[in-house]
């Protein structure tokens, strides 16, 4: 009975009309951050059985997951012609980056935005998949603030885009053709911001000219939550290590910028900063590094 009920709830969430949500954890009791546990584990994975003619790119959009995140979590599954009945992991569990701060933190390596806030004396978190800058149009890293808060923005093409892509419209008014979507949160560095999109299938990929794209329903949710002056930290952390219920976990993503020359050494460096004494399961760690599925994996010995 429990399995049938869970499956029904998943179907209800995934097939609601026009994708009414994408942010997660959806359940409030999964959204609290355990501040006593460094880089705490938040959220829970869900399982899904593919129906006939479903593709991973469509499922990613409908389930509110970035396309590359869904692909990495399900290695070996054909994204375009997966067999009906294939069991898919919906990666809704994640570990907070060690440098996550109250406000907004974006981890470029995992194509994910975290929003942390205080509520009733507890810290809560919700996260949204993001599209980031493509190669040559990298999203800047560093500490910023929200400097602009605009609903129904117009888009003006920067000179760099006009030079690189002749024929691009110099400006686009608000509406369905506007690449910024319906909301713009401008950063303190001019020209960069967090916004919606009229091309949602680019969320969860490296496709932008440096800005951060959210699904339309996600930016609609985030926009009223942040005000001018909200801190924004943009980092690149493909390896995250932390504790949950006394166990050591690692979440390892593709190192798109090839900055980590020794993944094992990076894991050990992060472990040394944690209040944990135990033995690492080297086989589990090696497998996690080889797979790079971008999902939390236990790497401590029982």
C-alpha 87 chain-centroid distance? 22
Q: In the predicted model, is pLDDT for residue 1 greater than 50?
A: no
Tell whether 228 and 243 lie within a shared domain. Answer: no
CB 106 within 8 A of CB 235: yes
Tell whether 110 and 174 lie within a shared domain. Answer: yes
| Average pLDDT estimate for 172-180 | 87
Could you tell me the pLDDT band of residue 10, with boundaries at 50, 70 and 90?
Answer: very low
pLDDT of residue 162: 65
Active site residue 211: yes
Residue that finishes a domain, picked among 63, 91, 119: 91
Q: Phi/psi of residue 63, each to 5°?
A: -95, 0
pLDDT of residue 3: 38
Catalytic residue among 6, 209, 211, 253: 211
Expressed as residue numbers, the domain containing 267 is 239-298
Tell whether 139 and 220 lie within a shared domain. Answer: yes
Residue among 30, 110, 24 at smallest CA distance from 67: 110
Catalytic residue among 6, 149, 195, 283: 195
Residue 161 maps to a domain: yes
| Average pLDDT estimate for 46-55 | 95
Range from 32-36, 89-93, 103-107, 120-124 carrying the lowest mean pLDDT? 32-36
Number of domains in the chain: 3
Residue 172 maps to a domain: yes
Could you tell me the pLDDT band of residue 171, with boundaries at 50, 70 and 90?
Answer: confident
Tell whether 111 and 133 lie within a shared domain. Answer: yes
CB 130 within 8 A of CB 212: yes
Tell whether 205 and 183 lie within a shared domain. Answer: yes
CB 66 within 8 A of CB 204: yes
Q: In the predicted model, is pLDDT for residue 32 greater than 70?
A: yes
Dump strand ranges (E) for the chain: 41-42, 46-49, 87-90, 94-95, 103-107, 112-119, 122-129, 132-133, 142-151, 155-156, 171-172, 183-187, 193-195, 206-208, 212-213, 231-235, 239-244, 247-252, 296-298
Range from 29-38, 120-129, 221-230, 277-286 carrying the lowest mean pLDDT? 29-38
Interacting residues of 135 by C-beta distance below 8 A, sequence separation 6+: 206
Q: In the predicted model, is pLDDT for residue 125 greater than 60?
A: yes
């Amino acid at each position: 009975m429990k399995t049938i009920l869970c499956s029904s709830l998943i179907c209800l969430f995934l097939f609601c009309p026009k994708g009414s949500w994408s942010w997660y954890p959806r359940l409030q009791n999964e959204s609290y951050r355990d501040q006593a546990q460094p880089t705490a584990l938040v959220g829970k994975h869900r399982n899904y059985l593919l129906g006939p003619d479903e593709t991973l790119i469509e499922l990613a959009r409908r389930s509110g997951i970035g396309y590359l995140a869904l692909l990495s979590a399900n290695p070996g599954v054909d994204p375009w012609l997966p067999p009906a009945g294939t069991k898919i992991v919906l990666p809704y569990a994640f570990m907070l980056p060690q440098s996550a701060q109250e406000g907004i933190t974006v981890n470029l390596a995992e194509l994910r935005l975290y929003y942390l806030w205080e509520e009733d004396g507890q810290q809560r978190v919700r996260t949204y998949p993001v599209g980031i800058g493509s190669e040559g149009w990298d999203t800047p890293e560093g500490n910023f603030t929200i400097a602009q808060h605009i609903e129904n923005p117009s888009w003006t093409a920067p000179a760099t885009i006009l030079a690189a892509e002749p024929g691009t419209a110099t400006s686009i008014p608000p509406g369905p053709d506007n690449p910024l979507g319906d909301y713009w949160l401008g950063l303190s560095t001019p020209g960069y911001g967090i916004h919606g999109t009229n091309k949602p299938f680019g969320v969860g990929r490296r496709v932008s000219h440096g800005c951060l794209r959210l699904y339309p329903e996600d930016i609609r949710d985030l926009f009223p939550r942040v005000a001018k002056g909200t801190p924004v930290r943009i980092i690149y952390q493909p390896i995250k290590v932390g504790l949950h219920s006394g166990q050591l976990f690692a979440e390892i993503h593709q190192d798109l910028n090839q900055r980590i020359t020794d993944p094992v050494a990076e894991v050990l460096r992060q472990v040394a900063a944690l209040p944990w004494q135990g033995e690492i399961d080297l086989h589990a760690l090696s497998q996690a590094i080889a797979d790079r599925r971008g999902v939390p994996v236990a790497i401590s010995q029982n």
